[in-house]
């Protein structure tokens, strides 16, 4: 009988894609499954995750992985999106829908909350959480208590989504700092404990014990003992491979619909000015705050390339064929292209809570002034870059000595974006980072020492200099 391959099972739960992986001891993916689950609606008719379908998929996927004869599952961990709670009663029954963090939050309840606990500015500074409505997941519990008191009293455990997934498999309920500390409004960053409002409202009693995010506990699964991690918020999990591989200070620009600048080496607390410019703090898996800023850059790129495709009668993905042309950039910088005054100015949209809509300067430019798609596209990236540089600089301390900026996600393969970013930060080294399934890999690495006797590989991330 051949020897089974030791592996770690990872469940990676995104808003769109739900994934199950097995990683071997060298962190190669040896099994992968991806599904998309249909949403349902909550009692108010707002779209939300179908928690019952999700529960069934998790249990089925784990059962399938354990039945694969060639692998021996030594450990388990979870990565999942944040700002989402599952509320359980004493019997472990699910009490409410898995509310969507994009669900509008009652205006009067918002005013009541901040008026009671010191005002928006004071509370936001203490909790490193801009005012984001339901995206501040602590306010979801505050709402449940104020609007549905009888239901709130029945809640025995409120689990952020990563910990709910872990509980489904292990039966053990934990809390972890990457979920609690991620723009939830729950954590007092200066005191390193739950904020006083959480205690005053009795919400802390709804949370199970807070466990270190890089810890793992033995769990009995039939005849086998399994090492189980506590689960991580996916943004924090995606940072783990970088922290594992690079010891010198770096800044990570993670690009997608949102372009998020993450500085895990910043030592300065958030300021009022930074909060007003859409900065916040995540928490790394060691419990250290990670200063971050956000720009809705990927969404703006998508909207403007649709406009360009229609104007130039080009395909929706034609921008992928545009090579960087420094001559076009020089001409655009030297020339003055007017901006239409009758459209709204550039503002910032906050996911789930803001009122403005981010639009770059390009959104107010007349496409008929550009001779070619290529010329227009270079100006689009120039305009997005102007805002991106400002957003990224917000997370750099005044005495910042960071020498390297890593870019992952969609823009990391965009030659125009990468060259302009490198030119904008000419005093630093700018790299495209190639990393497959970063959040899942990060969840595996977080518990490396508990299950894997090998050294952590040093080539997990491939860099390409710009």
Distance (Å, rounded) from C-alpha 360 to C-alpha 343?
11
Q: Are residues 43 and 144 in the same domain?
A: yes
Distance (Å, rounded) from C-alpha 255 to C-alpha 179?
21
In angstroms, what is the C-alpha Rg of the chain? 23
Q: Are residues 69 and 175 in the same domain?
A: yes
Q: Are residues 252 and 214 in the same domain?
A: no
Please report the pLDDT score of residue 383 as a whole number. 96
Please report the pLDDT score of residue 354 as a whole number. 42
Q: Are residues 435 and 418 in the same domain?
A: yes
Q: In the block, which residue shows the tokens 């989402």? A: 84
CB count in 10 Å sphere of residue 121: 13
Backbone angles phi and psi of 361, in degrees to 5: -55, -30
Q: How far apart are the first and last CA of the chain?
A: 50
Q: Are residues 279 and 240 in the same domain?
A: yes
Distance (Å, rounded) from C-alpha 330 to C-alpha 136?
43
Distance (Å, rounded) from C-alpha 201 to C-alpha 332?
56
Distance (Å, rounded) from C-alpha 59 to C-alpha 304?
42
Q: Which domain holds residue 28?
A: 5-230
Q: Pick from 189, 213, 230: which residue ends a domain?
A: 230
Q: Are residues 433 and 325 in the same domain?
A: yes
Tokens encoding 412? 């990391």
- Scanning 160-289, the segments in alpha helix (DSSP H) are 161-170, 177-180, 196-200, 234-245, 272-276
Q: Pick from 214, 230, 246: which residue ends a domain?
A: 230
Q: Are residues 93 and 156 in the same domain?
A: yes
Q: How many domains does the chain have?
A: 2
Q: Are residues 249 and 295 in the same domain?
A: yes
Q: Are residues 156 and 239 in the same domain?
A: no
User: What's the CA dihedral at 174, 175, 178, 180 to 10 degrees?
Assistant: 170
Distance (Å, rounded) from C-alpha 137 to C-alpha 133?
8
Q: Are strands 224-229 and 71-80 parallel, antiparallel or unpaired?
A: parallel
Tokens encoding 217? 């506990």
- Per DSSP, what are the bridge partners of residue 295? 259
Q: Pick from 195, 230, 265: which residue ends a domain?
A: 230
Q: Are residues 199 and 168 in the same domain?
A: yes
Distance (Å, rounded) from C-alpha 242 to C-alpha 246?
6
CATH number of the domain within which 140 lies: 3.30.420.40
pTM of the entire predicted model: 0.86
Q: Are residues 226 and 320 in the same domain?
A: no
pLDDT in tens, the chain (466 residues): 578 999 999 999 998 899 999 999 999 999 999 999 999 999 999 999 999 999 999 999 999 999 998 999 999 999 999 999 999 999 999 999 999 998 999 999 999 999 999 999 999 999 999 999 999 999 999 999 999 999 999 999 999 999 999 999 999 999 999 999 989 999 999 999 999 999 999 999 999 999 989 999 898 877 788 999 999 999 899 999 999 999 899 999 988 888 989 999 998 888 989 988 889 999 999 989 999 998 989 989 999 999 999 999 999 999 999 999 999 999 999 987 777 654 433 444 444 344 345 789 999 999 999 999 999 999 999 999 999 999 999 999 887 788 999 998 889 999 999 999 999 999 999 999 988 888 999 999 999 999 999 999 888 998 888 7
Tokens encoding 391? 């957003």
Q: Which of 297, 290, 293, 169 has the alpha carbon at shortest distance from 240?
A: 290
Distance (Å, rounded) from C-alpha 73 to C-alpha 8?
6
Q: Which of 294, 298, 346, 337 has the alpha carbon at shortest distance from 319?
A: 298
DSSP per-residue string spanning 349-409: PPTTT----B--GGGGB-GGG-SSHHHHHHHHHHHHHHHHHHHHHTTS-TT----EEEEEE
CB 458 within 8 A of CB 245: yes
Q: Are residues 380 and 392 in the same domain?
A: yes
DSSP per-residue string spanning 200-218: HTT-GGGS--EE-TT-EEE
Q: Which residues of 213-234 are buried (b: 16+ CB within 10 A; e: fewer)?
A: bbebbebeeeeeebbbbbbbbb
Please report the pLDDT score of residue 312 as a whole number. 97
CB count in 10 Å sphere of residue 105: 20
Q: Which residues of 257-272 are buried (b: 16+ CB within 10 A; e: fewer)?
A: ebbbbbbbbbeeebee
DSSP 178: H
Please report the pLDDT score of residue 201 as a whole number. 97
Distance (Å, rounded) from C-alpha 446 to C-alpha 229?
8
Distance (Å, rounded) from C-alpha 330 to C-alpha 327?
5
Q: How far is CA 268 from the centre of its chain?
A: 21
User: What's the CA dihedral at 117, 118, 122, 123 to 10 degrees?
Assistant: 10
């Amino acid at each position: 009988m051949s020897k089974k391959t030791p592996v770690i099972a990872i469940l990676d739960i995104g808003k769109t894609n739900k994934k199950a992986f097995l990683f071997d001891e060298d962190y190669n993916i040896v099994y992968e499954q991806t599904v998309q689950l249909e949403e349902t609606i909550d009692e108010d008719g707002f779209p939300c995750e179908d928690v019952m379908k999700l529960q069934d998929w998790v249990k089925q996927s784990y059962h399938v992985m354990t039945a694969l004869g060639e692998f021996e599952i030594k450990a388990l961990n979870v990565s999942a999106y944040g700002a989402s709670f599952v509320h359980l009663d004493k019997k472990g029954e699910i009490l409410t829908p898995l509310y969507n963090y994009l669900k509008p939050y009652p205006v009067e309840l918002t005013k009541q909350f901040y008026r009671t606990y010191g005002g928006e500015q004071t509370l936001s500074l203490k909790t490193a959480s801009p005012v984001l409505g339901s995206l501040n997941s602590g306010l979801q519990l505050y709402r449940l208590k104020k609007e549905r008191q009888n239901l709130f009293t029945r809640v025995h455990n409120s689990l952020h989504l990563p910990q709910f997934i872990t509980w489904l498999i292990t039966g053990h309920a934990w809390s972890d700092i990457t979920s609690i500390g991620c723009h939830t409004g729950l954590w007092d960053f200066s005191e390193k404990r739950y904020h006083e409002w959480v205690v005053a409202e009795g919400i802390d009693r709804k949370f199970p014990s807070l466990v270190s995010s890089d810890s793992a506990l033995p769990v009995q699964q039939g005849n086998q003992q399994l090492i189980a991690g506590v689960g991580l918020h996916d943004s924090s999990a995606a940072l783990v491979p970088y922290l594992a591989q690079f010891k010198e200070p770096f800044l990570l620009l993670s690009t997608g619909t949102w372009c998020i600048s993450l500085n895990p080496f910043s030592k300065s607390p958030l300021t009022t000015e930074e909060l007003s410019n859409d900065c916040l703090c995540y928490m790394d898996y060691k419990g250290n705050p990670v200063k971050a800023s956000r720009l809705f850059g990927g969404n703006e790129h998508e909207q403007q390339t649709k406009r360009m495709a229609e104007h130039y009668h080009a395909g929706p993905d034609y921008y992928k064929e545009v090579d960087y042309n420094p001559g076009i950039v020089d001409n655009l910088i030297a020339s003055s292209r007017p901006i239409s005054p009758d459209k709204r100015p550039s503002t910032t949209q906050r996911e789930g809570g803001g009122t403005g809509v981010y639009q770059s300067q390009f959104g107010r430019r007349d496409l008929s002034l550009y001779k070619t798609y290529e010329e227009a596209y270079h100006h689009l990236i120039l305009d997005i870059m102007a805002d991106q540089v400002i957003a990224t600089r917000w997370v750099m301390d005044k005495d910042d000595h960071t020498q390297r900026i890593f870019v992952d996600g969609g823009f990391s393969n965009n030659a125009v974006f990468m060259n302009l970013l490198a030119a904008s930060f000419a005093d630093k080294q700018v790299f495209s980072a190639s990393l497959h399934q970063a959040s899942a890999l990060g969840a595996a690495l977080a518990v490396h020492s508990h299950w894997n006797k090998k050294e952590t590989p040093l080539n997990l991330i491939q860099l390409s200099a710009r």
